[in-house]
Structure 1
Amino acid sequence: MAAPAFVRAFDSDLWWSFRRSPVTVLSAVVALVCVGGALLAPLLAPHNPFDLASLNLLDAFKPPAWAAEGDLAYPLGTDDQGRDMLSAIMYGARVSLLVGVSAVLFSTLLGVALGLLAGYLGGAVDAVLMRIADIQLTFPSILVALLVDGVVRAALPREVHDQVALFVVIFAIGISNWPQFARTVRGSTLVERNKEYVLAARVIGLSRLRIMLTHVLPNVLGPVLVIATLSLGFAILAEATLSFLGVGVPPTQPSLGTLIRIGNDFLFSGEWWITIFPGAALVAMVLSVNLLGDWLRDALNPKLR
């Protein structure tokens, strides 16, 4: 009788490599804490920072609980509106993760689809798609995201833009990151399309679409998984950068970047915790994801086994 899939997973080389790397294990724990705190924010957060009825301006600028004038009700202090910083960070991380994961999924789907088409069809399709990717790669990704956001802001009325701002940020970050997925998948597809199993599928009359989806795609997903993991950290940082510049998510849905921007106005007046703690949370989240991506890249590289 075959062992269940989860039992076989614990006997795999990937799990062995994971257990043998203390840095990777620590990164996974930090990532789980960040993701868990964000997803369970409504249950774990001491306060609801977006409930205006519960805010008290008399509680504004309270330092962390361990400081002389701190309050145990606000472990990491409060901001200029009296919002609990710990709760604001947990809720803000939800927005950052939502934008980051959604943008990576979008860029992955777009890049993989275009890379498959370019690599399998070749010819003019390959030339056009890769030249578009080359042109986009000459611009910094954050500049492309700013350009997309600016065009949408100019095209839509302010009221409409505020309603779709979250989707605009996801699209802007995702559209700026698809070329690396497309180029990677194209290179792998060029290798796979001439192998015997693909030639056999052609001989028995399978359509191009079916060959690409059921035969070529599963064999090119390894590098895509690594790139997606590494891109998640970039997407979270890109969203924080856009929000810090004031062109990201709306103020009614503040992310970690928005909290850092708000705290930056009070950094030199002594209220350092308003920007330092959201910044530390952003660093911990991105660093843990990047370290996991580095480990996954090495673990899936057959030359390093």
Structure 2
Amino acid sequence: MSFLSGFTDSDLWHSFIRTPTALVSALLTLILIAGALAAPLVAPHNPFDLASLDIMSAHLPPVWMKDGDPAFLLGTDDQGRDVLSAIFYGARISLLVGFASVLLAVLIGVTLGLVSGYLGGRADAAIMRVADVQLSFPAILIALLIDGVARGVLPREAQEHMAVYVLVFAIGISNWVQYARTVRGAAMVESRKEYVQAARIIGIGPVAILWRHILPNVLGPVLVIATINLALAIITEATLSFLGVGVPPTTPSLGTLIRIGNDYLFSGEWWISIFPGVVLVLLVLSVNLLGDWLRDALNPKLR
């Protein structure tokens, strides 16, 4: 209770409730996340249940159009899957990949950034040169490279089961540089302050100093980057799935649904790709707006 009361009295909370854009985007994000998490409860059908699919129900239009079926509010795709249900389950997969890849990138980037900024010297030079090389390539290209290597190494029968894990690793490993460079700069500043010098004098080890003293003071920028990178990770997953190198077609992520619908877009069956595309845009836009607000709210120069 004391934490909750302290948070509601903070400047961050007052900035949040006084910013309509932040309120609307947070509400929209919560609705989309709640719908994705509760997909088995709110989805009319289960797109993973192959026994319930009927190929004769494929390519049905939304319910308000001619030949629409009330059992499929937003129509069906080429396999007879309910588009609305596929969107619920697809958003679940997209959010899972997004959150997991951001968490992986944070763990790698923050760890390397702390080591680089605190130790300096050769360790700093080696880590930053790797970061500079990676910055020379687009993140999507690195993700494609890692995915291609994984497909060449893994047995064919294991590729479909490992697809989500490979996707998380590929996106996470391609986005750690931002965290490392940001944390490195903050760690270099913090490591020269008096409280860190005092901790060294009384015999506290480097790991304890990094974990207890420096890390809490660099989490603000990391939180902002993670919020914005969540939207980028979701877009990257959708892009890879659209290109056919993400999750398999039997796992309907938002990117997979858009790719499937793209094949039928010019034949008039627009609903297969348009509805998942709208949900993807709303999800990414709301998360981006939240990240922009958080960046401004945590910036002391704008207070």
TM range (shorter): over 0.9
Structure 1 segment 116-127 matched on structure 2, within 5 A: 116-127=114-125
Partner of 1:137: 135
Q: Which letter maps to 2:208?
A: R
Residue 260 of structure 1: how far off its partner (Å): 0.4
Distance 1:254 1:65 in 2: 21
Q: Post-superposition, which runs of at least 4 consecutive aligned residues in structure 1 deviate over 6 A?
A: none
Distance 1:249 1:99 in 2: 10
Q: Which letter maps to 2:107?
A: L
Partner of 2:27: 29
**Alignment TM-score, normalising by the size of structure 1:** 0.98
Residue 237 of structure 1: how far off its partner (Å): 0.5
Partner of 2:255: 257
SS in structure 2 of the partner of residue 120 of structure 1: helix
- Give 1:69's match in structure 2, choosing from 49, 63, 67: 67
Residue 161 of structure 1: how far off its partner (Å): 2.0
SS in structure 2 of the partner of residue 190 of structure 1: helix
SS in structure 2 of the partner of residue 247 of structure 1: coil
Distance 2:23 2:66 in 1: 36
- Give 1:199's match in structure 2, choosing from 197, 200, 204: 197
Partner of 2:15: 17
Structure 1 segment 171-182 matched on structure 2, within 5 A: 171-182=169-180
Q: Structure 1 stretch 184-193 or stretch 243-252: which is displaced more?
A: 243-252
Residue 156 of structure 1: how far off its partner (Å): 1.7
Partner of 1:98: 96
The number of aligned residues is 303
Residue 69 of structure 1: how far off its partner (Å): 2.3
- Give 1:231's match in structure 2, choosing from 221, 229, 232: 229
Partner of 2:280: 282
Deviations 1:8-53 (A, max 9, x none): 2112111111111111111111101110110000000011112112
Partner of 1:107: 105
Distance 2:122 2:21 in 1: 46
- Give 2:144's match in structure 1, choosing from 112, 127, 146: 146
Residue 7 of structure 1: how far off its partner (Å): 1.8
Partner of 1:190: 188
Deviations 1:163-195 (A, max 9, x none): 211111000000000000000000000100010
Distance 2:175 2:164 in 1: 17
Q: Which letter maps to 1:51?
A: D
Deviations 1:214-255 (A, max 9, x none): 111110110000000000000000011110111101223221
Distance 2:158 2:176 in 1: 27
> 2:32 matched to 1:45?
no
Q: Structure 1 stretch 220-229 or stretch 14-23: which is displaced more?
A: 14-23
Q: Which letter maps to 2:299?
A: N
Distance 2:63 2:175 in 1: 41
Distance 2:77 2:44 in 1: 15
For structure 2, the residue ranges without an aligned partner over 5 or more in a row are none
Q: Which letter maps to 1:302?
A: P
Residue 82 of structure 1: how far off its partner (Å): 1.4
Partner of 1:215: 213
Distance 1:156 1:146 in 2: 15
Distance 1:139 1:147 in 2: 11
> 2:54 matched to 1:56?
yes
Alignment root-mean-square deviation, CA? 0.9
SS in structure 2 of the partner of residue 75 of structure 1: coil
Partner of 1:266: 264
SS in structure 2 of the partner of residue 63 of structure 1: coil
Q: Which letter maps to 2:215?
A: L
Residue 108 of structure 1: how far off its partner (Å): 0.2
Partner of 1:162: 160
**Alignment TM-score, normalising by the size of structure 2:** 0.98
SS in structure 1 of the partner of residue 76 of structure 2: coil
Distance 1:15 1:70 in 2: 46
Q: Which letter maps to 2:178?
A: Q
